[in-house]
Amino acid sequence: MTDTPDHPGSPEPSALLPVTIEEEMRSSYLAYAMSVIVSRALPDVRDGLKPVHRRILYAMHESGFTHDKPYRKSARAVGEVMGKYHPHGDSSIYDAMVRMAQSWSMRVRLIDGQGNFGSVDGDSPAAMRYTEARLARASTFLLEDIDRDTVDFQPNYDESEQEPTVLPAAFPNLLINGATGIAVGMATNIPPHNPAEVIDATLALITNPAMELEELMTYIPGPDFPTGGIILGRSGIRNAFATGRGAVIIRARAEIEEIRKDRKAIIITEIPYQVNKATLQERIAELVRNKQVEGVADIRDESDRSGMRVVIEVKRDATPEVVLNQLYRFTQLQTSFGVNMLALDGGQPRLMGLKDVLTAFIAFREEVILRRSRFELNKARDRGHILVGLVIAVANIDAVIALIRGAPDAAAARAALMEARWDASEVAPLLELIHDDGNQIVDGKVWLTEAQARGILELRLQRLTGLERERIQKELSDVAIRINELLEIIGSHVRRMEVLHDELMLARAEVATPRATEISDYAGDQDDESLIEPGQMVVTITRDGFIKRTPLDVFRAQNRGGRGRTGAGTRGDDIVVRSFNAHTHQWVMFFSSGGKAYREKVWRLPEASPTAKGRALVNLLPDLGTDTITAVLPLPHDEELWEALHLVFATASGGVRRNRLSDFRNIRVSGLIAMKLDEGDSLIGVATCREGQDVFLATRNARCIRFQITDETVRVFAGRGSSGVRGIKLGKNDRVISLSVLNHVEASVEERSAYLRMANAKRRAENAAELTDEEDADLVVQDKEEEEEGSQSLNLLTPERFAELEEAEEILLTVSDGGFGRRSSAYDYRVSGRGGQGFTNMTFSANKRGSEVAATLQVLNGTDVMLVTDAGRLIRVPVDQVRVMARQASGVTLFRLNENERVTSVFPVIDDGNEESESSDEASSAPVSSAPDSDAAGQEG
């Protein structure tokens, strides 16, 4: 460097070399990137530590802040680290130190902290001047033997101190505690694992180095997070262990408890790893406010020193399982941990699988054991060498003392000892025993070395006693044994593996803890529906628009004529207008008075007890507005059947229309226009049908009509906005109340009449029970007439044709608003053309209550029907107890009504085999309640 006239201190032009900026940026950035990768972000596969963590542990070890010493101020440890080894800010050092002391961050804590070291809620730790810390017991196994030349040291940043490049870790810390770091162009994210499982897998790999991953996974089934939780599925774990990359789904541990009567809550006791509990609760509250998650009434944190407990109280009409599943979907109650097992191996970043990490650790520990053994061997040989000199001195004690007394000073005494020749007969075997080649034996004489001479001069007089001489011999013998052991370890790989096995067992006894994270074989998200237990439900809708579902098994079957039980709580003059039976996983379509269609799953309807009023439909269907639900259709459970099915609509004014069911597959939340209705008209029924079946309409004034579904009678409408065609011509003040779809059977009028007479005669013969009800006494004459007609018709049908018609027979139940009803064969209802006035469906008797038909519906043998009154009472009656009579008959008593009480709804129920029936010997007129040991659930009339 020389000065130039224009620019003093600048180099001469000949010393300047041109460098392209691309090359300079490339080299400089590469140096920076490698510095970050190696010196900051990535852990070493050998000890599982980053430089800052390694420096903290080593500095505390050097300062004596060990587990068996009192706590020291954290600021003192941070100062030691920053001043000697880590030339960065104190906050980065303290943050790393704090994390090693947090039980929710580390699977095995390496720092034993005292004071506020933060919380799982994300609270910041107290300042380092307030907290205290020392090394945890587990850290001893990471630092043990570091002073025995087991690892390499390097100068610190100012070359005033030496620091280890790696700690001689006695257990696989990288897998046990995991690691997280972001370098330049790469990152690592290694999950923690159970200490006992990792050490057991290491021991197994030592025994069988050729062990495959599948066998290793029997020891380590997956990560084990300190915060617990549940891992869903094993495929992500398998990929991570095999390749070093994978995704592990972690779910919080939650239970559903009944905290008080009719109120349940979701109790969170464990959350996924690295999830902030306070932030999690804020997120849940935000979702509830935004109505993304419905059914949450309250959230509170009841966590204390005994453990975590977050209570999410669920509304009464909500399903806790569904709410919990939504929380899994939208919050960090379920997270995905992306495994990226990138670590430094030989100073180079390497993506490693499970076996790779364990193999690297075993190789490292073997090297540590080898270096330690060599170090100890040298120490043992040095000690043995000194002991040989002491043995020589003791054996020639008089000569040694005389030589020393005659020397003018210590140096002369040492030189005299080294020049003298001593008898080698006693020490020759010892030199061979300890493999000592430091002494030379010539002609049976031995020379003392300088080290031995110094040892003799430093010998205390008490060592000259007989007992002390024996101790010297004993120590020399022990040293000889130890030297041989060390030589065996150094020379044998098998012996080194035995030592490693023993040391791992010692570490396991200290750090082993039970597994905290459960591993579930289930993989993938659950939809809300899969959490709902399948079952039959009774869905009830009131006139004022309240809906609810109640398990079917709440209602037990009674004999006809019973008093029923309260099936729906109502307010004021509200009455039940519609009830039906459906499966929890079935779709239900709702048709409003305005002609719109809505769709909802049964399990999404609010569940309530029989006496509860339910939930307003306007809350369930927000876009319903001022309309009312006038028709409800449970759709087939198997959605594959929808393509082959049609929908037939019936209005109160007698109109009908046919559409494809697939036209209603995609229904928006706001609803879909289903049918164009004239002013004052309303939908009374919607049913699924197929080409060739029959439509059966029944009116309030006991008229009915049956016509076949064909393209000529009721064509398939392409759009949903039409009003349809006329199905039945109504009389004055009449309206359609029921819609049924029947199978079409080709039979002549004569065949149908003959079959009816023969079937009625057969039923009379099979039912020999006498009528005891005075109201049914008029049926005795009718039975006799039918028997006579049946006997006259025996020759009109062949047995084969009769059996064919009997197999295809369908039964219709007609119930009046006075509680009377009867069954009739569908053959009794002739097929006519569409749009006619129809024919008589029921004759009302003067001595029986009722003047209108409440419902006409198809029923099956062995099933039950539910009758609902405007007072909210229900009764479940087996249809087999209702007599089969001609369609004009007024029927028998089905429901004993109170004064001014009317039947408003009748619907079939499906017996699932769990229902209990009242004993048949009870009087049918007895006021039986169907509520089993309940207080006011079943009220007698």
- The pLDDT score that the predictor gives to residue 914 is 38
Decide: 642 and 661 in contact? Cβ < 8 Å.
yes
253-332 CATH choice from 2.40.50.100, 3.40.50.300, 1.10.3720.10, 3.30.1360.40:
3.30.1360.40
Please tell me the chain's helix, strand, coil percentages from 3-state DSSP, rounded to the nearest 5.
35, 25, 40
* Type and span of the H or E element at 113: strand 111-114
Which SS3 state, helix, strand or coil, does residue 625 take? coil
CA dihedral 84, 86, 88, 92 (to 10 degrees): -120
Rounded CA-CA distance 595/672 in Å is 9
Query: Is 829 a known active-site residue?
Result: no
Burial of 211 (0-12, 13-18, 19+ CB in 10 A): middle
For residue 744, the SS3 value is coil
Residue 642: name the closest of 672, 668, 669, 665 by CA: 665
Secondary-structure class of domain 49-168 per CATH:
alpha beta
Tell me which residue has tokens 């020193």: 305
Helix axes 195-207, 493-511, angle to 10 degrees: 170
Catalytic residue among 130, 219, 328, 827: 130
Q: State the Cα–Cα distance between residues 401 and 720, nearest whole angstrom.
A: 125
For residues 17, 22, 27 and 32, what is the CA-based torsion angle, rounded to 10 degrees? 130
Q: Is 445 helix (H, G, I), strand (E, B) or coil?
A: strand
Query: Which residues lie closer than 8 Å to 386 by C-beta, 6 or more apart?
Result: 451, 452, 455
| Residue 338: φ, ψ to 5° | -80, 110
Structure tokens at 827: 């053959």
Of the candidates 491, 612, 502, the residue with the CA atom closest to the CA atom of residue 549: 612
pLDDT confidence of residue 919:
31
Partners of 648 in the β-ladder = 658, 687
Whether 623 and 599 have beta carbons less than 8 Å apart is answered as: no
Phi, psi of 572 (to 5 degrees): 60, -130
Residue 741: enclosing H or E segment and its boundaries? strand 736-742
**Cα 94 to Cα 549: distance, rounded to the nearest angstrom:** 58
Contact status, residue 78 vs residue 38, Cβ threshold 8 Å: no
Q: Are 384 and 436 in contact (CB under 8 A)?
A: yes
Buried b / exposed e along 89-128 (16+ C-beta atoms within 10 A): eeeebbebbbbbbbebbbbbbbbbbebebbebeeeebeeb
CB 394 within 8 A of CB 426: no
Task: Let me know: does 817 contact 853? Beta carbons within 8 Å.
Answer: yes
Element (H, E) at 330: helix 320-330
How long, in residues, is the chain? 941
Within 10 A of 917 (CB to CB), how many other CB atoms are there? 13
SS3 189: strand
| Residue whose tokens read 């549940």 | 230
- Which residues of the chain carry a pLDDT beneath 50? 1-2, 770-793, 910-941
Nearest to 234, CA basis, from 217, 219, 255, 251: 217
What 3-state DSSP class applies to 71? coil
Does the domain formed by 535-745+808-909 have CATH 1.10.4190.10? no
Written as six digits, the tokens of 304 are: 């204390």
Measuring CA to CA, which residue among 591, 617, 587, 578 is closest to residue 720? Answer: 591
* Phi, psi of 410, rounded to the nearest 5 degrees: -65, -35
H/E element, 80: helix 74-84
Assess whether the region 49-168 and the region 368-509 belong to the same CATH fold.
no
Task: Please count the other Cβ atoms lying within 10 Å of the Cβ belonging to residue 281.
Answer: 18
Q: Helix (H, G, I), strand (E, B), or coil: what is residue 377?
A: helix
Beta bridge partners of 607: 549
Could you state, in order of their start, the residue ranges of all structural domains in the chain? 49-168, 253-332, 368-509, 535-745+808-909
One of 1.20.1560.10, 1.10.268.10, 3.40.190.10, 2.40.128.20 is the CATH number of 368-509, namely 1.10.268.10
